[in-house]
Amino acid sequence: MTFAAPAPQAVVLRLTDRAQGPEGIALRQSLERAVATRDLEDRGQNILQRVSAALHRASDEDGVQTSPETMGRALDLLAALPLSVPLPDVVVESESELGLDWDEGSRRVISLTVRDNPMVGYSAFIGAEPLYGRVPFLGEVPETIRFLLGRLYAQRLGR
């Protein structure tokens, strides 16, 4: 009589599994930073919910999958926003672009385009003045974008 013991089963827990490539590691770190945004866990959760909902809509409706680099940069930018600025609507524009939109009514709109590179595109229509361009995002909200958000939310920011 021969007895064969079953081979041990490997157990992988997502919480402890760190076997990922560089993009996966960067994405995981961005997600961790977004959830831990300053002292407001609710804001971090709200950021994740908005981005996740946009990704699911794009995947379900258009079959578009956004790159991890783009998603990581968008999460980093959202986490860097001043707490006094409300979170934008998130829209998947393409495989390498996410849109962040603030629409406060007629002639009060700002739209950012986050790509899989450090440049962030912006367009704003505040009053009768259209503004647009590109600025680098290097971990802090660029001064131009801070200025535009300050104009859009001047009362909220106490200006």
The answer to whether position 11 is within a domain reads no
The residues with which 108 forms a beta bridge, in sequence order, are 126
SS3 content of the chain, % helix, strand, coil (to 5): 35, 25, 40
Q: Tell me: the pLDDT tens digits for 80-113?
A: 999 889 999 999 998 899 999 999 998 999 999 9
The answer to whether position 65 is within a domain reads yes
Q: What is the largest CA-CA distance in the chain?
A: 89
The chain-wide mean pLDDT, for the chain, equals 83
The answer to whether position 82 is within a domain reads yes
Kindly give the residue spans of alpha helices, DSSP state H, lying in the chain. Answer: 22-35, 41-62, 68-80, 143-152
Q: How far apart are CA 128 and CA 133, in angstroms?
A: 17
| The model scores a pTM over 0.85 | no
Model confidence at 42, pLDDT cuts 50, 70, 90, reads confident
Q: Is the pLDDT of residue 24 over 90?
A: no
Q: What's the domain range around 81?
A: 22-152
Domains in the chain, number: 1
The answer to whether position 5 is within a domain reads no
The answer to whether position 31 is within a domain reads yes
The answer to whether position 2 is within a domain reads no
158: left (phi over 0), alpha (psi -120 to 50) or beta: left
Backbone angles phi, psi at 92, to 5 degrees: -80, 120
Nearest to 133 by CA among 112, 151, 152: 112
The answer to whether position 12 is within a domain reads no
Q: Is the pLDDT of residue 37 over 50?
A: no
Q: Tell me: the pLDDT tens digits for 142-152?
A: 999 999 999 99
The answer to whether position 141 is within a domain reads yes
